A = this chain, B = another copy of it.
Amino acid sequence: MTRGPIPRKTVYRLSLYYRVLQRLRGNQIDTVSSASLAKVSGVKPTQLRKDLAYLGHFGTRGLGYSVEALCTKLVEVMGTASLQPVILVGVGQLGSALLGYDGFAREGFEIVGAFDMDHSRRRMGKIKVKTMPMEALPGFVKDNKIKIAILTVPGHVAQEVANSLVESGIQAILNFAPAVLQVPENAVVNSVNLAAELENLSYFIR
């Protein structure tokens, strides 16, 4: 059996499986085969089994996987068990958009604070998240033990802001700025570049 660090791509798929499993659990289904779980997840059955094998021996041969047991294990491994508090930095167009988005909360991530340099952006109408000045960030991160930040600042200041985030104790950054961030070993960055995604698509249409 293959133990050791789970590959990044596998981790992505694990959260995918988890989402599907939750639906199954809601429907009182308590056993699922790799074939059917793979189908709704959009992957090959063998790949699913390989992925799940990273978690240990969870399947029953001739039967399938216990939905309940798998869910429990996935929560444990993925660390979603505890509601992760998150901060958002950069309350511009996209930033305030994401503040209003409830999809994060549905998956167990609560945006507990928002920060922006620009004073005029701090009072957001109906948004219940407090928008604070940047100077308050380090203290807030330390006091609330925040580990994850969503970065929605303009590209030309992204690196600079990322540096201060890491310095303040942030360990993971979900970056929406169109910039390549350099961070030390002890921090992780996932970048989402919306315009690049569209550009990519436009290449594949003839």
Chain B residues whose C-beta falls within 8 Å of the C-beta of A79 in the assembled complex: 202-203, 205
Asked if B15 and A200 make an inter-chain contact with CB atoms under 8 angstroms apart, the answer reads yes
A97 at the interface (CB under 8 A from B): yes
Q: Which of B172, B180, B204 contacts A202 (CB 8 A)?
A: B172
Number of copies: 2
Asked if B200 and A101 make an inter-chain contact with CB atoms under 8 angstroms apart, the answer reads no
Chain B residues whose C-beta falls within 8 Å of the C-beta of A78 in the assembled complex: 199, 202-203
Q: Which of B41, B77, B173 contacts A203 (CB 8 A)?
A: B77
A96, chain B: closest CB distance, angstroms: 8
Q: Which of B15, B96, B178 contacts A196 (CB 8 A)?
A: B15
A188 at the interface (CB under 8 A from B): yes
A115, chain B: closest CB distance, angstroms: 18
Asked if A107 and B195 make an inter-chain contact with CB atoms under 8 angstroms apart, the answer reads yes
Q: Which of B8, B77, B205 contacts A200 (CB 8 A)?
A: B8
Q: Which residues of A, 166-206, contact B by the 8 Å Cβ criterion? A: 171-174, 178, 180, 182, 188, 190, 192-205
Asked if B182 and A201 make an inter-chain contact with CB atoms under 8 angstroms apart, the answer reads no
A165 at the interface (CB under 8 A from B): no
Query: Chain B: which residue is nearest A99 at the CB level?
Result: B97
- Separation of A107 and B200 alpha carbons in the complex (Å): 12
Asked if B198 and A86 make an inter-chain contact with CB atoms under 8 angstroms apart, the answer reads yes
A93 at the interface (CB under 8 A from B): yes
A163, chain B: closest CB distance, angstroms: 15
A98 at the interface (CB under 8 A from B): yes
Q: 5 new A-B pairs (CB below 8 Å) besides A86-B198, A172-B201, A172-B204?
A: A78-B202, A78-B203, A96-B97, A104-B194, A172-B205
Which A residues are within 8 Å of any B CB, using their own CB?
6, 8, 11-12, 15-16, 19, 40-42, 77-80, 84, 86, 93-94, 96-98, 100-104, 106-107, 109, 147-148, 150, 171-174, 178, 180, 182, 188, 190, 192-205
